[in-house]
Amino acid sequence: MLSSPATPDSLQNPSPDGLPAESLSQSLSMSRASWQRPVSAWQQPGPAAFDFRSDVTTTATPRLLQAVMSAGLNDGWTGNGAKKFEEYMAQLVGTESAVFMVSSTMGNQVAIRTHLNRPPNGVICDARSHIMHMETGGLASLSGALPIAIYPSNGVYLTLEDIERYVVLSDGTDACNCPTRLLHLENPLGGNIMPLHEMKRIKEFADCHGLKIHVDGARLWEAVVAQHGSLRDFASGAHSVNLCLSKGLGVPMGSIVVGDAEFIRHARWVRKSMGGAMRQPGIMANCAWAAVEEAFGQSASGDESLLSRGHELARDLANHWAALDGKLVVPQETNVIWLDLDALKIDEDEWESQAKAEGILLHSSRILTHYQLSDEAVAQLKGYMQRSLEGAKEREGYVPRAKPRNDAVSRVAAAMKEAMMLARLRNAAL
């Protein structure tokens, strides 16, 4: 008997798969009328249908919720919950082992802490990366590490040459330096992909010098769907990879970290120390598993993935913007577009508030597409782009902000522009 009436309406409707009859308890069906709505939050259009702010707005589908209903309970109290999902993911990514995490922030921080067990620790990362802008400085506070945050010289992704320029290799004779221990590579970063061949070059270099590579592959699924290589290909260029489950896959929370067995064993310790061990993770792991199968798809190479809709929409919107003489900061490659609003004398506050008045949600100059967007929202955004660009042409006296607005996405947007500007300066100087 179910004691809580908090079951989503969509699950109360007879589904093709059919729920166990006993899930509709007497008391439940009696109180149902009070909370049943004609259209459930899990039927189309979903809450993310008009939301271009982030793919985190995607929500669990009925199939994911079914998976939650069929989860085994009390699977995690021994500290080894979500085991089957972890095994599935290790196999999919081609590593020995995997561990389920509460979030990608935790996944990154646990992985970094696991790699860095003896200071001094230097970490090279991209100046635009999530760990620099959106993880509360955990690299410093949790791992006591020194970040060397660099801009890619090509303006888009770090290369081996960028890393070689800043890496601190040490044989221990210099007691002043902070040796680089870890290369933290975010891929994709801002929707742009670090190609496999570059990752392989960096991995060879790292192996040669005893450095570790952690890949923040929160959206690595997208690189696979864009046909840049399989999860296995990308994972073979790293010692650990974090994959986010709560971005475009629509899972409410979670991430998975993969690596070799020894690494994951230690990561479980660190996860526990940070409060990330869960009692009944099977509920979320089951949901995530269903999402990997439903949204990413059954094929390791990402063929026929639902995520490809996000890429099609982004391409369509980027082409539309370009056809209207709009500029992009970086090329569109996956499900992210960075508009150059300054070039069009459009302020981001105004851009957002006007869009909201027209029924679509935007955040900063970044547009993030996902498979749960409605066609109507895309048409609306296209019209909005056109009207904004026409208005902007007549505008006079626009002064761009001297510094980025005080939110993380705006800061990253500014860093994306900075990287491109430095790349142009470098090229001009060569």
Q: Name the E strands within 13-134.
A: 97-101, 122-126
Interface with ligand PLP in residues 295-334 (CB under 6 A): none
Pick 112 or 344: Cβ nearer ligand PLP: 112
Cβ at position 347, least distance to ligand PLP in Å? 25
Any contact of residue 57 with ligand PLP (CB under 6 A)? no
Distance, in Å, from the CA atom of 255 to the CA atom of 236, rounded to the nearest integer, reads 19
Binding letters toward ligand PLP, positions 235-274, x by CB under 6 A = ---------x-xx-------x-------------------
Distance, in Å, from the CA atom of 412 to the CA atom of 190, rounded to the nearest integer, reads 8
Query: Token match 């399989």: residue?
Result: 230
User: Nearest-CB residue to ligand PLP?
Assistant: 104
Per DSSP, the three-state class of 71 is coil
Cβ at position 101, least distance to ligand PLP in Å? 8
Binding letters toward ligand PLP, positions 112-151, x by CB under 6 A = ------------------x---------------------
Our CA angle for 86, 90, 91, nearest 5°, is: 120
Pick 218 or 291: Cβ nearer ligand PLP: 218
Task: Give the DSSP letter of residue 258.
Answer: E
- The answer to whether residues 70 and 282 touch, using CB atoms and an 8 Å cutoff, is no
Per DSSP, the three-state class of 257 is strand
Pick 198 or 342: Cβ nearer ligand PLP: 198
- The answer to whether residues 108 and 248 touch, using CB atoms and an 8 Å cutoff, is no
Any contact of residue 198 with ligand PLP (CB under 6 A)? no
Any contact of residue 55 with ligand PLP (CB under 6 A)? no
Phi, psi of 215 (to 5 degrees): -105, 120
- The answer to whether residues 101 and 255 touch, using CB atoms and an 8 Å cutoff, is yes
Which range binds ligand PLP by CB under 6 A, 22-30, 88-96, 214-222, 325-333? 214-222
Cβ at position 248, least distance to ligand PLP in Å? 10
Contacting positions for ligand PLP (CB under 6 A): 103-105, 108, 130, 186, 216, 218-219, 244, 246-247, 255
